[in-house]
Structure 1
Amino acid sequence: MKGFLVLGVCVALVLVAGGVSAAALGDGEAALAVTELHAGRNELAPHAFVLEDPAGELTFAEVRDGVAHPFRPLAPAGESPGHSSSVYWLRFRVRNTTAVSSLIVELQMTPEVAELYDGDGPPQRSGTLLPFGARGVADARIAFRVTLAPGHDRTYWVRQRTSDTLWLDPAMWPEVDFWESRTAERLFDGICYGVILGLAVYNLFLFLATRDRSYLLYVVFQITNGLAQTAFNKYTFQYLWPDHPVWAMQSVPVLEFLVLATGLMFARAFLDVRRMSPRLDTAMRGLAIGSLVLAGVWMLARPDGLTSGAARALAPVVLILPVVGSGVALASTVLITVAGVACAVRPGATNARVFLVAWAVLLVGTAIAVLASLGAIAAGDGFPMMKLGSAVEAVLLSLALASRINRLNRERELAQRELLASKTARIEALRQLVSGVAHEVGNPLNFACGGCDELAARLAALDRGAPGPGPSVRAAHQLIASGLARIKSILDNLRRYLSVGDAQLVATDLAEEIDQALELAAERLRSAGVRVDKQIARLPVLWTRPGEIHQVLLNMIGNAIEAMPGGGALRVTAHAHDRTVELAVSDTGPGVADEDRDRIFEPFFTTRRDAGGTGLGLAVAREIVMRHGGTIRVEAADGAGARFAVSLPRREAGER
């Protein structure tokens, strides 16, 4: 009887132990569904289990059996606990039904610390806090390489922790398929970043050519935006600072604040917010400065910063930086949107509308990426949209910027045409005025000249018949003659200045014109003690108006003679180029002062008024040259003196 009782107790204990074991297995291996692996990406979440460790103190041995700390099923589409300081364990069992044994376990959202256990040995370690070279899988994402023979199955545990958002959605790949997928993804990223970089370089060249500030701000904005995205996707960590994992994480918010600052500055310049609304412009400028300050604070407060004392002092500030940064980002978004809408509703504001569309595309892409980071949508669906949105935004902004510059150029050309028309009208009015003055002054001038000539004849007759009238009368006559000659010279120059361009173009031998001008000025050159050095190359036939280039030469030669009252050297050169012929007259006088070079060709401006200069000779020369489609400039001659250079276009007969 007693023996049966003992046997009955033993049987009962065996049954109880079996029940407990079955219960344990029900929560453990017996209840763990198997994910059969196939080619491509294999989602593990539908058959995975999760365990939260709030204190982060559980060991692998404690969670392995799943009795004291039971796992719960993971959401089939994965799940995100949001911002959490807890440690999360994942457990999943896979069966390798592929033909390869090398597999990759991929985690989402790059946890700071990640460990993979297979139950047979020490764990594999990875995470964003490790240097890039310490990762077992050399990729921007957190991944582990495991070996599982075809046809076999095994249970794996993953321990992960992060101070940022965590997304629990593990996947497993055959390694070949993993790298093929990453290559395609990198190609997509490279295209997006290449578009941004290419447009930045293109607009940088445009800035160097135009010196328009909007181009430079666009370049800086796109470069910081590209860097921020490559930092977010860990490419900067992989290629720029692989040995500084902490800075790789801290550089993301630093660059994001720089994106805010440069985006605000570009929007202000592109939309011309200052002219539209000074208050809105002030607010945008203040937010840009605030973003720069936040970037500096975040950089100084990073744990591996050079100024550890400053980092400790700024530690309380760092705790509120995410909140402050979110507020600045929201305010910047609102202000840029308000400025864009305010400009877009104006008539003819096509560029502002394109800007608004580009800004909306960037915001939509960023919003989708934020939803992915918060776990609202899958990361693989959200983050590519941010890259694509940035590339589209860069293209649209570049087109809008080009259109804006074209519009500004058209407005500038219109203003120049209006100014030219106004100048032409003033010149025409001056022409009529001077013509009337010349007519009114010309008649009495002719009478006065005739009387002066008669006086000279009578003085000569008196000299022949009797002693002369005396030096005072002679001096008075010379004074009258000199004054009348000056008045006549002024009137002649005015007529030439206002009658330039009336004649038709004819074929002209420039070398012959030079020789004739020097021959006419020969007596003045000899009396002034000026020697001539002439260097004339073989020149093509030019199409000019009769006598006008001759007048330009005489004016420049006369101006050079007057600059050398004590004698000197006059050099005349002429050379042909591909599209122009250059004629230059140089002297060895005192030269032209820098402050006078911009005014030397203005009508009635002269530096020798005491010596009888009218200030019309070079003005007439410039007007003639400009109406021939050429240019005239003054520069310092070699050694000393001034050099006046005329550049005339070479025209064929059909281009007259």
Structure 2
Amino acid sequence: MKVLPIFLLLFYMALDGLHAKELPSNGNDEVIFPITELQIYADERGFVNFSDVLNGEVEFVISEDFQPKDYSVDSYYWIRFPLHLNNIESKQWLIEFYDQTIDVIEAYIPTLDGSYKKITMGDHYPFYQKSFDHKNFEIQIDPKLHGEIVYYFRVKSHTYADIRIAVRSINRFIEYSLFEYFLYGLFYGMIFIIILYNLLMFIAIREVKYLYYTFYIFSVGLYATCVDGIAYQYLWPNSPQWNQIAHGVFLFSLIFWAMVFGHRFLNVKNSAPRLHKAIWAVIFARVLLFIYAIVFDNSLFEYRNIEILPLSLIFYTGVYVLVRGYRPARFFVMAYGLLFLGFLIKALLNISVIPFSIVSYYSLHICFLMEMLFLSYALSDRVRILKSNRDRAMQRIILQHKENVKLKDKVNRELERLVDKRTTEIQEKNIMLEEANQKLNQQTAEISKINSILDLDNWKLKNNIKEILQDRLINKNLTLEEFNKIFPDEVSCFRFLDRLKWENGYSCSKCANTKYNDGQQKYSRRCTRCGYDESVTSNTVFHKIKFPIEKAFYILYLTNNRQNKYTLDELSEMLSLRRNTVWNFKKKIEQAFSDKEDSHLIITDLFSYHINKKVS
């Protein structure tokens, strides 16, 4: 508090007379002065004190072209507010600051003795320091004061401060406050009802999108209470530090759940896979930025315009899905379009692109309300569409069932007619069969005797054929056509090598293990101990050949047969192979025979065994 000399006070009051603001008259109960009509001084360094102001060391000016973008968060703003008071006025008056987010307001109030009383307010201080239990900042005008007096205010805020001063009567203040809180009650009551409704829907049908929507609406409500100052008044009145970052925390929560709900509602994972990845990338980046802001730099919460990016992405996704034919996205696009519009208007208002008005100031609340209504209708519309699709499906099922019943009756009648006809035919044939059975019984005995004789002859014939084929295989050349009947394809050759190679049991060539599993190739075996995968052709003349193995078998057969009279050229032409290929394989066979003396007998015997198995 500072006491001034009477003559100094009268001097300044005289200077202010021409510019003093008159109290409302003619039945008016309020008048609002925007910053463009106020005398202000921007103290950029914060060195000016109240005595400097009273001594005339600063020059107050009226900036008629002042815009929100001109506001500097580093400056202290002094406001000189002259007011003409009529002592015969029976009403009581107060001065009010609308912006409840201002950090510090130092109000210098004139008193009856000519001195000034200092009152400190702001959201940097507990709520109980306010003169009135109201979300805004109010100062009551002493009804004993009269004439021209001057109020001084020193304002400092780390974010843009909407510096407007309203002078209104106590009756008008009570009237508009009650009406304003009544509207807030309707707004937050609708939010509460929507939350409760969607929570009950989630409990009833266990559809997770209702739970996401509940979290989103809850975040909308908390963010709106921070913007309105309701949260500071009722939820955390004694926590001014938390109040500084609460709006940023709940704005993040709002955007996060908006994207998660939109992603789930639009079924983006299936309808737009690329946008699915983009949405989750933006969510991840936004979460990292939130963690950094909450831990290291709380000032990042003031950059609210970045929320345009995730909102634009989810809005574009809704439009994209709608264009691709997803009907439930209709009202979703309308809802998020309104939300996007609300944030856009708020951002444009903060950078002074659009003028300040009641509608623009509360545009976000209006858009929130409209968006919640559209989203709620979108959820019910989606259920309606699903129900309509289900009903159409049920109608198709019923029609198909009726057609199936008609078809069934028609088929049954046709079957009954055919059964009657067939029964008559069967009865006639049964008579013929009884006569035939008598003849068959007589012939059965004769056939049994003949079968016994034929079985004996067949056994002798098979033995003769085996002997003949063995002789031909050992002593004579089989033609390629005859040989192909014995080994027609690769599988038969592999099967033959499998019997030949492991007829005495499997033994790993690396570690001698006798247990194995099936290998990757046909008839290969993998050792269970060392994992060596041994093919059926390894350690044989057929390993890594570059032509069909059945042709290699025939070359081995001819090489093994002493009566082979085919030249290399004839054999090459017969097998459709190059001459060098035939010559190299014959050389490989001869080398194998020279390494093992009894190879010739083994191959011959096994070929004969295979042919005998084929015949038998």
The TM-score normalised by the length of structure 2 is 0.59
Query: Could you tell me which residue of structure 2 aligns to residue 11 of structure 1?
Result: none
**What is the Cα deviation at residue 76 of structure 1?**
8.0
Aligned to 1:261: 256
Q: 1:115: which partner in 2?
A: 106
Indicate which of 29, 46, 51 corresponds to 2:41.
51
Identity %: 21
1:77 & 1:173 partners in 2: Cα distance? 24
Aligned 8 A contact 1:100 1:149 in 2: no
Match of 2:337 in 1: 360
Deviation at 1:70, TM superposition (A): 1.4
1:94 equivalent to 2:83? Answer yes
Question: 1:33 aligned to 2:15?
Answer: no
Please, which of 146, 168, 189 is the counterpart of residue 173 of structure 1?
Answer: 168
List gaps (5 residues or longer) in structure 2: 1-6, 428-616
Q: Give the CA deviation at 1:438.
A: 13
| Distance in 2 of aligned mates of 1:354 and 1:246 | 39
Give secondary structure in 2 for the equivalent of 1:117: strand
Instruction: Give the Cα separation in 1 of the matches to 2:81 and 2:44.
Output: 21
Query: Quick one: which amino acid aligns to residue 330 of structure 2?
Result: R
SS in 1 for 2:48: coil
CA contact (8 A) 1:77 1:169 kept: no
Per-residue deviation at 1:32? 5.5
| 8 Å CA contact 1:88, 1:161 repeated in 2 | yes
Q: How does 1:477-488 map to 2 (within 5 A)?
A: none
**How do 1:91-240 residues align onto structure 2 when only pairs under 5 Å count?**
91-97=80-86, 98-108=89-99, 110-119=101-110, 120-149=115-144, 151-240=146-235
**If you compute each CA radius of gyration, which structure gives the higher value, 1 or 2?**
2
Matched, 1:330 2:308: yes
Which residue in the other structure is 1:626 paired with? Answer: none
Offset, 1:93:
0.7
| Separation of aligned partners in 2, 1:217 and 1:25 | 65
2:391 maps to which of 410, 413, 416? 413
Give 1:75's match in structure 2, choosing from 55, 64, 79: 64
The 5 A counterparts of 1:422-433 are none
Structure-2 separation of matches of 1:321 and 1:243: 21
Residues in 1 aligned to 2:419 and 2:52: alpha-carbon distance in whole angstroms: 118
Deviation, structure 1 residue 187 = 1.9
On the 8 A contact 2:328/2:385 being kept in 1, the answer is no
1:175 is displaced (CA, Å) by: 2.3
Number of the residue aligned with 2:374? 396
* CA-to-aligned-CA distance 1:179-213 (integer Å, 9 cap, x gap): 21122222222222222322232232223222223
Quick check: 1:362–1:390 contact (8 Å CA) kept in 2?
yes
| 1:495 counterpart residue number | none
Deviations 1:263-318 (A, max 9, x none): 111212222222221110121123234434444444x43xxxxxxxxxxxx24xx4
**Distance (Å, rounded) in 1 between the aligned partners of 2:128 and 2:211:** 37
Distance change >3 Å, CA 180–CA 370, structure 1 → 2: farther
What displacement does 1:35 show?
A: 0.5
1:60 aligns with 2:38: no
Cα distance in 2 for residues equivalent to 1:153 and 1:335: 57
Match for 1:339: what amino acid? T
State how far apart, in whole Å, the 1-side matches of 2:72 and 2:400 are: 69
* Root mean square deviation, CA, Å: 3.6
Q: Tell me the secondary structure at the aligned position of residue 102 of structure 2.
A: coil
How far is the alpha carbon of 1:339 from its aligned partner? 1.4
Q: Give 3-state SS (helix, strand or coil) of 2:80's partner.
A: strand
Confirm whether residue 345 of structure 1 aligns to residue 336 of structure 2: no
Q: Distance in 2 between matches of 1:114 and 1:403?
A: 50
- The residue type paired with residue 264 of structure 2 is A
Match for 1:34: what amino acid? Answer: A
CA contact (8 A) 2:68 2:351 kept: no
Deviates most, 107-116 or 389-398: 107-116
Give the distance between the partners of 2:66 and 2:47, measured in 1 at CA.
28
Taking CA–CA contacts closer than 8 Å with sequence separation of 6 or more, which of the two structures ends up with the larger relative contact order? 2
* Partner residue in 1 for 2:245: 250
Query: How far does residue 80 in structure 1 lie from its aligned partner after superposition?
Result: 6.0
**Is contact 1:260–1:291 with CA below 8 Å preserved after alignment?**
no
Cα distance in 2 for partners of 1:197, 1:86 equals 40
Query: Unmatched 5+ residue regions in structure 1?
Result: 1-20, 302-313, 448-656
Q: Counterpart of 1:140 in 2: which secondary structure? A: coil
Residues 254-263 or 71-80, more deviating: 71-80
2-structure distance, mates of 1:427, 1:282: 49
- AA matched with 2:334: V
Report the CA distance shift for 1:47/1:326 in structure 2 as closer, same or farther (over 3 A): closer
Partner Cα separation in structure 1 for residue 270 and residue 116 of structure 2: 69
Cα 1:412/1:83, change in 2 over 3 Å:
farther
